[in-house]
Every structure is written in C-alpha cells, then in structure tokens.
Amino acid sequence: MRVERWIEAALDGEYGEGLRIASRMLVAIGEAFEADRLIPVRSCHISGVSYRTIGEPGLRFLEDLASSGVKARVKATMNPAGMDMSKWAEMGVPENFAQKQFKIVKALESMGIEPTLTCTPYLAGNSPDVGSHLAWAESSAVIYVNSVLGAMTNRESGPSALASALTGLTPRFGMHVNECRRPTHLVEVEGNIEGALMFSALGYLVGREVGRGVPSIPSVRGASGDELKALSAGLGTSGGVSMFTYKTQRGLPRIKVHTRELLNIIEKLSTGSGGVVCLGCPHLSLAEVRYVLELLKGRRVRGTLWLFTSRAVYRRASSKGLVQALERLGVRVFKDTCMVVAPLEDMGVKSIVTDSCKAAHYVKLITGGRVQVSLMSREECIKEAIEREA
C-alpha cells in the first residue's frame, strides 16, 4: 500500500503516540485487505461507546489515546452509550456503571468526537453527500448511508473509525471501490411487506443468505426511510453485508422470500412473552416518535413502554411537546442509549418486547439468554404496553 509521507512520519512517532497508534492501525488494515492507498474521508462515526460493550480494556485504550492530546481532523460522531447521560438513575443503571460510562464519553469528547450518542447519525446532523467517502462503524448506519444516501464506507470497527477520525484517512478497498458495489444476488419478495418488524426480518433473512454480498432488492424501492432503516439494521445483524441496492443486472443468483419465511424468523427469534416494551433499535426518528403518540390515542400505558432515540430527535420532539405528551401517558423517552447496549440485567430487566430483529438477536446473544425477548409489530407493541401490566 502506498502511504503519504506524513503518515510515514506519524508511524515513526514524529507526531506523538496518538497519531502513531492511529496510523499503524490504518496501515495494518490496509495491508490486510490489500488497499492500494489511503484516501481522505468526509466524516467518521465511532462505535464501541457503551461501557457494557468495551469494558475496562476499551476504557483504558480510549483514555490512553485521549491523554496523548490527539484530536479528530474531520467531523466525527458517537454511537449510543450504555445509558441516558442525564436520566441514567431513572433507568436503573448502577452508579458504578455510570461513572465508567462518563469517563468513556469524556475521553472521546476530548478527542473532538461529537457526543451525538446515536446509531442514526444521519438523522442527527451527520448526513453525508452522495459519493462521499466515509469511515463509519455501526453496521445499520453503514448499510443505510451506502444504500439509501449513496455514500461510500466500509463496515469499520470502533477503533478503525476512530483512527480515521484522528488522521482523516481510510484505506481504499471494498465499498470505496465502485466494482465492489455491484449487486451479487437478486432478492424477490413475494407479498406485501410493511412496518419496521417485517422490514427488519427481511433484512435478517437476506443478510443470512448473502454473507458479504451486495443484495439487490428492487421491491423495497419506495419504502419509507424508517422502513429502510429497519431493513439496514436487519441486514447488518445476520451477516457481513455493507450495502443493498435497487439496481439489478442479468444472471444474478436469485433469492425468493415469502412473507411466511419472515414470520418464521420472527418466531425463532422470540424466546419469551411480555416484559418491558422497548422501541428504538435503531433509534426512533421524529416521525416514529409521533406515530407512537398517535397509536396511544390518549390512553395511559399500564405496562412499561420505553422509547429510545437520539438526543437530536429528543430535542426536536421535546420542542414540539411530543415528549411531554408521551410522558403524561406513562411512556419513558430515553436518549443516548438503547436496549442493546444498556446493562439490562443490572437494571433488573428480565424480559423485553420489541419490533426489532436486531435487538432480539443481540439481547439474546449479549445476555446469554438471561433476558427474554418477544417480537411484535409496532402496533402490537403499543397494544401490549397499554393492556398488560409489566
């Protein structure tokens, strides 16, 4: 791989330990994946923010890096933390966890990373232009910006996206190269698919089938942004997909999907019944927050209903009075976090109800099955929250 002179100097430690580590990481990844050179990126999105996810080793790394005084050279945003940064006590997050979480966010902020604390940065002020090269982590956001917004990014990891933020560069391979963005499979969907649950199940199924391929799914053209957000999250969960496309070409292997297969997936991912109703994986958009309020039709929830969104959407929802109206009906609206990265067991949560196949998959995996999950459509989730006492 060809490397700029200043990166060579950075590798030798001329610009300090932080840039030395960042450039060594990027060169290693570039060598491993046979990149030809490093290219500038317009923005970065960094995952691995929750203390639950990265633990002591991650905290240590971020604090060491921050103490070297290195700063982001391009716009960079943060994935969700393990708690709402102001309402953590109300969520039942233990004090000890909260202290560690504050340290992680502080270390990242001191390197110039914006505390957007969301998996939907494209709804929170980090919306890339068509054709712009990025270094984003968080698979659901990667797939959304590659596929829906036409930006170009590989599926980065937390540390590699951070290294790109600090250098402004990423190795050029994979999704940065047009030839790698051509469809590899054609997905034909039989029957009508609607709503977040079904779109996330479609993504989950297709991701499992195509591995690291680029599925062409022409039938989802015209779906809402929120449905495509759910599709992206499903696609990123079960495989190594970095993007989907509406374009197709002749001779592609076909994958036929029936709605009953999607219902099978939903049933397989469901392990429990009832519990805390959690919506917001990926984080809810403003339209989705409003839709939940509409579905409630002024009825109070008897169970527990938690909504998760970004602080950017929370602010907008709050200024329109939506948050206040929801809280009056007994709904809790949290920002900065979600059910996947919060320490659910430590918060005393034993089972959840959600409409996201991604959340179902990861909650089961991360808690080792100690937290049960049941999947329902968004409308059924609201009904559950109104009718059943948690």
Partner 1 sequence: MRLRGRRIVGGFGEGIALVLKSPISFLEGVDSRGFIVDPETGLEGRRISGRVLVFPWCRGSTVGAYKIYSLSIMGLGPSAMVCREADIISATGCGIAGIPLVDRVQPDPLKTIRTGDHVKVYADLGLVEVSKRTLRPESPPRRS
Nearer of residues 71 and 299 to partner 1, judged by Cβ: 71
To partner 1, the closest distance from the beta carbon of 10 in angstroms equals 13
Contact (Cβ atoms closer than 8 angstroms) between residue 343 and residue 92: no
To partner 1, the closest distance from the beta carbon of 342 in angstroms equals 17
Pick the closest to residue 189 from 199, 197, 181 (CA basis).
Answer: 199
Pairing mode, if any, of strands 169-171 and 38-40?
A: antiparallel
To partner 1, the closest distance from the beta carbon of 232 in angstroms equals 19
d(CA 203, CA 233): 7
To partner 1, the closest distance from the beta carbon of 246 in angstroms equals 28
> Where do contacts with partner 1 occur on this chain (CB under 8 A)?
21, 24-29, 31-32, 48, 53-58, 60-61, 64, 157-160, 163
Nearer of residues 147 and 160 to partner 1, judged by Cβ: 160
Contact (Cβ atoms closer than 8 angstroms) between residue 207 and residue 239: yes
E strand spans, 246-388: 254-258, 276-284, 305-309, 332-335, 351-354, 372-375
SS3 (DSSP) at 373: strand
| Residue corresponding to tokens 């002179």 | 5
Nearer of residues 328 and 370 to partner 1, judged by Cβ: 370
What DSSP letter does each residue of 221-258 carry, written as one string?
Answer: TT--HHHHHHHHHHHHHHS-----BS---TTPPEEEEE
Nearer of residues 171 and 203 to partner 1, judged by Cβ: 171
To partner 1, the closest distance from the beta carbon of 54 in angstroms equals 5
To partner 1, the closest distance from the beta carbon of 20 in angstroms equals 8
To partner 1, the closest distance from the beta carbon of 53 in angstroms equals 6
Residue 316's CB is within 10 A of a number of other CB atoms, namely: 18
d(CA 276, CA 289): 17
Residues forming beta bridges with residue 305, ordered by sequence position: 277
d(CA 175, CA 109): 28
Which amino acid, 7?
A: I
d(CA 267, CA 49): 31
Nearer of residues 25 and 277 to partner 1, judged by Cβ: 25
Nearer of residues 31 and 194 to partner 1, judged by Cβ: 31
Nearer of residues 28 and 287 to partner 1, judged by Cβ: 28
Nearer of residues 56 and 294 to partner 1, judged by Cβ: 56
To partner 1, the closest distance from the beta carbon of 28 in angstroms equals 4
Pairing mode, if any, of strands 185-190 and 215-216?
A: parallel
